[in-house]
Chain A
Amino acid sequence: MKPAQFALDTPQSASEALALLSDHGDSAKVIAGGQSLVPMLNFRLVTPERLIDINGLEDLAYIRENDGVLAIGAMTRQQEIEASPVIAAAAPLLAEATREIAHPSIRNRGTVGGSLLHNDPSAEYPVTLLCLGAEVEVASVRGNRTIPVSDLILPWFSTTLEPDELLLEIRVPVAGESTSQAFEELARRKGDFALAAVAVALTFGASGAIEKAAIAGTAGRCAQRLTEAERALTGEVPTDSVVGAVAAAAETEIQPVGDIHADEDYRRHLVALMTRRALAKAIGDRAGSKED
């Protein structure tokens, strides 16, 4: 089980990488942590002519907070996100979801940018970054542009990134004081790909009603915002019956895909259940913090 032959580039700067992508983008793959790409290469599921290894781009690994925006460099390792106090305060959802990614050795190598762009339907970052209203900055020799994550990710491992573009940074609005976030997923074993996952980010009003609700889910096809579920929660005090209606909306609007591990009905049910459980956690955390 060996990859087919490929040329290897090891650029040491973003501009060098962009020049390579400009010349070879159509026939090259960018390799970051390699935690998904290397197995695909070894299975010869992908046979790029060229690999552009961006592990030399060390200045793309950072976590910063500025003016209410959390900026994460594309090459930041997942383990750093898991351990970062900045992330824990500014985007607790991201920290919580990161702990569900595979196993520590994989999180040590895997990058946030690599995982987002690989866009595995069962991966944690697309669904959480979608929920958080994140955007990404990408660059090419043609110039830079900013893409909301909602416009970046497409079904079936696809994105709207152009072949000559490189992801530089992920930007997440910093969680406000009156927000509460939670993540729930179910996998067959600890660390496995999630059968279904739901991320919620709630902003509470002074009355205890929910001013703003962001809910995203995934169940085998692609991370999606559950807008009907959000609508059912926005402006409401989250009573049991409201939560029930939100879960029912999520169950209806999720687009599940079945496989050998879980059929569509079960995944649909799990999205409803994960929605209930994530909301219960977020609402419970909010209640807990108010008591403090």
Chain B
Amino acid sequence: MSEQAEMSEQGKVTWIGKPVPRREDRPLTAGAGRYMADIEMPGMLYMVVLRSPQAHAKIVSIDTDAARAMPGVHAVYTAADLPEELKPFPVIWRPPVLKDDSIAALASDRVRNVGEEVAVVVADTQQIAEDARELIRVKYERLPANVDPIKALEPDSPRIRDEWDDNVAALFPFRNGDVDAAFAEAAHVVDGHFKINRHAAMPMETRGVVASWDALTETLTFWSMSQAASLLRTELAKSLDLPDNAIRVMTPNVGGAFGAKWDRYAEDLLACVATRRLGRPVKWMEDRREHFQSTVHAREQIQDWEMALDEDGRILGVRGRAVADLGSCVPSSGIGTQWVTGNTIPNQYKFENYSADIIAVLTNKARAGSYRGFGGPESNFPMERLMDKAAKELGVDPAELRFRNQIQPEDMPYPTATGMAVYDTGDYPGALRRALEMVGYEKLREEQPKLREQGIYRGLGIGCYVHCTGFGPSAMLGMINYDTSGYEGARIRIDPGGKVTVYTGMIPLGQGTETSLAQIAADSFGIDMDDVRVVWGDTSQTPYTGFGSGGSRSNLAMTAVMNAAEQLKAKMIRIAAHTLEASPDDVEFADGHLSVRGVPDSGLTMPEVARIAYLAHSLPEGEEPMLQTQQVFDPPGFGWAYGCHVGVVDVDIQTGMMDWKRYVIVDDCGPMVNPLIVRGQIEGGVAQGIGGALLEEMVYDEAGQPMTSSFMDYLMPTFHDVPDYEIDHLVSPSPHIRGGFKGMGESGVMAPAAVVANAIVDALAPFGIEVDELPITPNVLWRKLRDAGAFEDGRSAASVG
């Protein structure tokens, strides 16, 4: 067998748990991938978008005559040229507290952020379209811009939506227990003012679309790298006033998404309008500068939290407020990310009293939507900082304070302080204990003062985290007003030759979907992985999935594949029993082979049974020919993954630069299907977390002009900027999922910001510096050190060498 199959002790072929190299890697790294930019069709036209250079302005006039007159230009559309029946994309997650908003195709009378779509040009080539775009003249009348979400809350601040009373899109209150009583009886209260920086997923591949209208069949083929193809199809049908079955959404290879490709975007609608009018395929590819300005940003929140503790350092309650900057429009995910922030503040800790106001506000910046972690990193950072602040206040080691407050394995299932989450399984103190052991916590603590005497400022930072995975039970999504479903389907077809094809609605974004689903199917049938093909990326073939890829949902697809395989195995057993003239109860299915119990040589192979099923010459009474089935799995509950990171850093107090010394990760996603993929997902997630903590920020000036529109100014972490990862695992199966698998695609990104901040604060403990704002730049640290008097007593000269 080519892909390292191993026989278990019982002699059965098993694939689950094996570190199988991803089958995607060889073709993709050899350049055989087909991405959106590679898609070319005969007669294809190219669309480019003219975007607003203003953060907030009235559109006085648009003159497109010169652009339209340019040879090679087929169409120029402004809002006035769009069909009347074209409807904007609705928001998908719409709690009643959220005001109405939607994503329009083009700005009509007003622009609300730099990068907003104002007009499109469709031409024979990309170059002609770009040249023609330069000829469009737009007259703007500037309006005052809102850039600061806190100022945008003020009653007299410039209004983003005239039809709203203020700029607040939603205020979602979390209320549980008696938080004021908890604070009244507290022996200690710690608080913090936190800033989580606006940054973005920034996948290697930008967005793009190819839309092709077929006038013969009156159908639309829509190539998209959307993470949510079925949902996009439904939304396109509504917006374009077409039946769902007239639209086929095809997904090519996707060069990373991380949430940014979950939102619906204006260009999707514009390309459809163009292809229907012009009768030729229309392609739009976003360039990187456009990506910086108009693909969703994420994470920006300004938060104030207080934590009440008793004399022994046990948390009594948490209260506070998070103000989230949504940018100029409510994203497809609504206030979903912010709700998750509010719902995960309790993290791994046991307390009952909680109050939080989650406020989402519009500003004149790019729309902020989903990004790996989806609100989780935004709660982890303040909560884990508060834990360190409390430890300092009580004079207790930060690890010890966490042990005192962690939910214990025997407390599970545990309803958290938000009143809206129930953790299923986990050994939180076990993960922390293991991480401390791996890093050599006590020894490092002993070394710390000696190193300081030598001018080495070394610090340790702990970050414990939870991660809500397998998103999610459809009934639960309904309760929180998510206007889509959470189940995942799988179709399996066994061909007349006996080989297996799995059809999935999951979109592979780099998470190894093809490999892990092939592992599950091969494991279920006990066959070679090479005998399993995984088909994805075509809504005309693959199962409907209301949510799409994201939300760490591979575990749901895996369960659906297992259930579908079970069904087909049962059918093959019935057919084999009929052929072998045995009772189905006496037929065993092992390693792709069906035989009568006790007579292993007597049996049939899967290809033999498949041939019988397709010939249908002699099937059991009432048995349907062929071997195919579809199963849909809707999880009864969430699987909560969790873990603990410990980082060790050295800070150069002269420059404010930091150096990684160690990074230890203990993660629990239940049983691992593929440890190699798990490792890759963790490493990628941690790197993104570190990037967000130290480097990445979308900066706007006071007029709302983006200051970071290229990789020259927006700094992504490279391999020089991330530590070597030391990874271990605990295994707490989820009771809600067959196989016990929890999702894990977003675990890695939860804790790094807290780990970095806690480690730096620990390193600089002699100066009493707190770091509650992200990103933590060398300039910021140096300023804090200078203000704390670090350079006043000659220590400044110590590290000249």
For B708-737 the 0/1 string (1 means CB < 8 A from A) is 101011010110110000000000000000
- Asked if residues A1 and B289 are in contact (CB atoms below 8 Å), the reply is yes
Q: Give the Cβ gap from A169 to chain B, nearest Cβ, in Å.
A: 30
Q: Closest Cβ of chain B: how far from A243's Cβ, in Å?
A: 8
Contact B782 A269 (CB under 8 A): yes
Tell me whether B310 is interfacial, beta carbon within 8 Å. no
Contact between B127 and A186, CB atoms less than 8 A apart: no
Segment of A10-18, A85-93, A258-266 in the binding face: A258-266
B695 contacts across to A, CB distance below 8 A: 188-189
Contact of A2 (CB < 8 Å), options: B126, B715, B779, B782: B126
Residues of A contacting B288 with CB < 8 Å? 1
B778 interface residue, CB < 8 Å from A?
yes
Is B598's beta carbon under 8 Å from chain A?
A: no
- Taken together as a complex, chains A and B put the C-alpha atoms of A190 and B720 apart, in Å, by 7
Which of chain B's residues has its CB closest to A279's CB?
B800
A190 touches B718 (CB 8 A): yes
Distance in angstroms between the alpha carbons of A25 and B554 in the assembled complex: 60
Q: Decide if B266 is an interface residue (CB 8 Å cutoff).
A: no
Chain A nearest CB: distance from B544 CB in Å? 36
A186 CB to nearest chain B CB (Å):
6
- Does A192 sit at the interface, judged by CB under 8 A? yes
Could you list some 24 contacts between A and B, CB below 8 A?
Answer: A43-B289, A43-B710, A186-B655, A186-B657, A188-B778, A189-B715, A189-B717, A191-B720, A192-B715, A193-B712, A260-B699, A260-B707, A260-B708, A261-B777, A261-B779, A266-B656, A266-B778, A266-B779, A266-B782, A266-B783, A269-B782, A270-B655, A276-B800, A280-B801
Judge if B131 is at the interface, Cβ distance under 8 Å: yes
The 10 closest A-B pairs by CB, nearest first: A1-B287, A190-B720, A266-B779, A262-B779, A260-B699, A276-B800, A260-B707, A280-B800, A2-B130, A273-B654
CB distance from B652 to the nearest CB of A (A): 10
Q: Does B797 contact A (CB under 8 A)?
A: yes
- Please name all residues of chain A whose beta carbon is closer than 8 Å to the beta carbon of B287 when the two chains form the complex: 1
Is A240 positioned at the interface, with any CB of B under 8 Å from its CB? yes
What residues on A are CB-neighbors of B126 within 8 Å?
A: 2
Q: Compute how far the CA of A216 lies from the CA of B733 in the bound complex, rounded to whole angstroms.
A: 62
Bound: A277/B654 CA distance, A: 11
- In the docked arrangement, what's the CA distance between A5 and B128, Å? 10
- Whether B721 and A5, one on each chain, are in contact in the complex, defined by CB atoms closer than 8 angstroms, is no
Contacts of A148 in B (CB 8 A): none
Q: Which of B771-801 contact A (CB under 8 A)?
A: 777-779, 782-783, 786, 797, 800-801
Contacts of A273 in B (CB 8 A): 654-655
Decide yes or no whether A244 CB sits under 8 A from chain B.
yes
- The answer to whether B721 touches A189, judged by C-beta atoms less than 8 angstroms apart, is yes
* B558-590 interface (Cβ within 8 A of A): none
Which residues from chain B contact A287 at a C-beta distance below 8 Å? none
B601 at the interface (CB under 8 A from A): no
In-complex Cβ contact of B779 among A243, A263, A276 (8 A) = A263
* Complex interface: chain A residues within 8 A of B715 (CB): 188-189, 192
Asked if A189 and B720 make an inter-chain contact with CB atoms under 8 angstroms apart, the answer reads yes
Asked if B446 is at the interface of the complex by the 8 Å CB criterion, the answer is: no
Which residues of A sit under 8 angstroms from B721, Cβ to Cβ? 189-190
B134 at the binding interface (Cβ < 8 Å) = yes
A248 to chain B, nearest CB (A): 11
Q: How large is the interface on A (under 10, 10 to 19, 20 to 34, 35 or more residues)?
A: 20 to 34
Query: A4 on the interface (CB 8 Å rule)?
Result: yes
Report whether A4 and B720 are in contact in the complex, using a CB–CB cutoff of 8 Å: no
Closest residue of B by beta carbon distance from A277? B800
Given pairs A188-B778, A260-B707, 9 additional interface contacts (CB within 8 A): A1-B287, A44-B134, A186-B778, A189-B715, A189-B721, A260-B708, A261-B779, A262-B779, A284-B801
Contact present for A4 and B134 (CB under 8 Å): yes
> Are A244 and B797 in contact, with the CB atoms below 8 A?
yes
Q: Mark A residues whose CB is within 8 Å of B.
A: 1-2, 4-5, 39, 43-44, 186, 188-193, 240, 243-244, 260-263, 265-266, 269-270, 273, 276-277, 280, 284
- Size category of the B interface is 20 to 34
Contact of A5 with B131 at beta-carbon distance under 8 Å, contacts A193-B712, A263-B779, A270-B655 already known: yes
Residues of chain A contacted by B134 (CB below 8 angstroms): 4, 44
Q: Which residue of B lies closest to A267 (CB)?
A: B779
Per the bound structure, the CA–CA distance linking A5 and B127 in Å amounts to 9
Q: A1-B288, A1-B289 are in contact. Are A188 and B782 (CB under 8 A)?
A: no
Chain B residues near A270 (CB-CB < 8 A):
655
Within 530-559 of B, Cβ neighbours of A (below 8 Å) are at: none
Assembly CA distance A276 to B779 (angstroms)? 19
User: Please, which residue of chain B has its CB at the minimum distance from the CB of A270?
Assistant: B655
* A263 CB contacts on chain B under 8 angstroms: 779
CA distance A280 to B288 in the complex (A): 42
Q: Which residue of B lies closest to A5 (CB)?
A: B131
Closest to A240 in B: B797
In the assembled complex, the Cα of A260 lies from the Cα of B712 at a distance in Å of: 11
Contact flags B110-138 to A (C-beta < 8 A → 1, else 0): 00000000000000001100110010000
What residues of A have a CB within 8 angstroms of the CB of B800 in the complex? 243, 276-277, 280
Q: How far is the CA of A265 from the CA of B721 in the complex (A)?
A: 25
A182 to chain B, nearest CB (A): 12
Q: Which residues of B contact A186 (CB under 8 A)?
A: 655, 657, 778
Q: Decide: B783 and A4 in contact? CB cutoff 8 A.
A: no
* A189 vs B715: C-alpha distance when bound (angstroms): 8
Name the A residues within 8 Å of B713 (CB-CB). 260-261
List of A residues within 8 angstroms of B777 by Cβ: 188, 261
Q: Which residues of B contact A1 (CB under 8 A)?
A: 287-289
Provide the B258-297 mask, 1 if CB < 8 A to any CB of A, else 0: 0000000000000000000000000000011100000000
Return B125 CB to nearest CB of chain A, in Å: 10
A99 CB to nearest B CB, Å: 14
Q: For the complex, give the distance between the alpha carbons of A244 and B131 in Å.
A: 56
B686-714, CB under 8 A of A: which get 1 and which 0?
Answer: 00000000010001000000011010110
Interface flags for B180-198 (1: CB within 8 Å of A; 0: not) read: 0000000000000000000
B183 vs chain A, min Cβ distance (A)? 38
Q: Which residues of chain B are within 8 angstroms of A43 by Cβ–Cβ distance?
A: 289, 710
Collect the chain A residues with CB atoms within 8 Å of residue B720's CB.
Answer: 189-191
By a CB distance below 8 angstroms, the chain A residues around B718 are 189-191
Q: With A and B bound together, what is the CA distance between A270 and B655 in angstroms?
A: 7
List chain A residues, Cβ under 8 A from B712: 39, 193
Which residues from chain B contact A190 at a C-beta distance below 8 Å? 718, 720-721
Residues from chain A with a CB closer than 8 A to the CB of B797 are: 240, 244, 276
Residues of A within 8 Å of B654, CB to CB, are 273
Q: Chain A: which residue is nearest B206 at the CB level?
A: A1
Closest to A281 in B: B801
CB contact list, B433-478 vs A, under 8 A: none
Q: How far is the CB of B148 from chain A (nearest CB, A)?
A: 16
Q: CA separation between A262 and B654, bound complex, in Å?
A: 14
Give Cα A265 to B287, complex, Å.
36
Tell me the smallest distance from the CB of A133 to a CB of chain B, in Å.
26
Q: Which residues of B contact A260 (CB under 8 A)?
A: 699, 707-708, 713
A2 adjacent to B127 (CB under 8 Å): yes
Residue of B nearest to A262 (CB): B779
CA distance A207 to B655 in the complex (A): 34
Report the separation of the CA atoms of residues A79 and B603 in the bound assembly, to the nearest whole angstrom: 68
Tell me the complex Cα distance, A123–B568, Å: 66
Q: Smallest distance from the beta carbon of B586 to chain A beta carbons, Å?
A: 66
Contacts of A243 in B (CB 8 A): 800
Of A1, A2, A44, A276, most buried by chain B (CB within 10 Å of CB) is: A1
